[in-house]
Amino acid sequence: MAVRSAHAAETVIAVPTFRRPEHLRRLLEAVRGLDGLERAALLVAENDPQQRQGAAIACALAPTLPIPVDIVLVPRPGLCSVRNAIVAHALRYPAMQRLAMIDDDEWPEPGWLAELIAVQQRTGAAVVGGPVEPVFADGEPRWWRETLVFRPEERPEGLVEMLYASNNLLVMRAALERVGEPWFDPAFNRSGGEDLDFLTRLRAQGFGFAWAPRAAVREWVGPERARRGWVLRRMWRIGITDTMVARKKRPGALGRATLAARSLALLGFRTASLPALAWKRERRLDIAGQWVKALARLYALAGGSDALYAAPAPVSSARPGSS
């Protein structure tokens, strides 16, 4: 349902949402202060057709925002369902040239959108990413910089080999049209990793990626996530979803054997690094997390899965740690 017409928009800011109305409110209020809103529109995808809390917030705030707002209801649950609905809806806007993705538990810095667009224009890349900076509900835990799960990526501006997540991402229309439907593979609907798979397929088709270090968004981290146990659980999931993506790239018995050999070697390397837990206090969580991630790779190759998102919450994948 359209609150105001967005069909003339060249840039579409897309937000998937599920039962986080106050977080979404903060994001929408931050849109008021954005630079680069010329010929832009906002698309909110509500993945809870029963309560529709996000849709209600978007409808209430739409008249106060400087750009048109469009709301789409996505009754089918899951990460990929809501992201695919966003892309399909945005491609119906005849003037749309670029899709800027941000999650409903985040909010952008004023220069976010303008920086994404500027870096895209300077580099010619089809996909541009930016950093995600955590904001902890109960104050920063002492250990949070010990893990790549929370630590923002630090890269110079310009072309990069790979991007990993869709929670701060600009994608050009040409890339969306060529990769084709489904843009986000439903096999990842409940596990996460759908954005890594999407970006991996874009890269395989020859599209260029770039990094915009000043296109920052902030991400709310509640107390349930600001725990070491949650970090290790996230690393376990990343190991599984990374392996799911890798198996798509290397199908068949030979590909499986190759991945198994690499995963065994990686687990051996990570196991050999475990004694460093005794003296590298500032890296303990990363060391443990990388070991858990390596073990999860073998679990996935053995047929294990990880349906972490039993509810249809469009939670983006964490930025993966180095392997």
DSSP string, 53-89: HHHHHHHHHGGGSSS-EEEEE--S-SHHHHHHHHHHH
**pLDDT tens, position by position, 110-122:** 999 999 999 999 9
Which value, in Å, is the radius of gyration of the alpha carbons in the chain? 19
Does the pLDDT of residue 109 top 90, yes or no?
Answer: yes
Does the pLDDT of residue 2 top 60, yes or no?
Answer: no
Residue 145 CB-density burial (10 A; 0-12 exposed, 13-18 middle, 19+ buried): middle
pLDDT at 277: 85
Alpha-helical segments (H) within the chain: 21-31, 53-61, 79-90, 112-123, 173-179, 194-204, 228-249, 252-272, 284-301
Tokens linked to 319: 């930025």
pTM for the predicted model, two decimal places: 0.89
**pLDDT tens, position by position, 86-97:** 999 999 999 999
Question: Who has greater pLDDT, 313 or 266?
Answer: 266
pLDDT at 5: 67
Q: What is the mean pLDDT of residues 16-41?
A: 96
Residues 6+ apart with CB under 8 A from 125: 119, 159, 207, 208, 209, 210
Q: CA-to-CA distance for 87 and 251, rounded, in angstroms?
A: 27
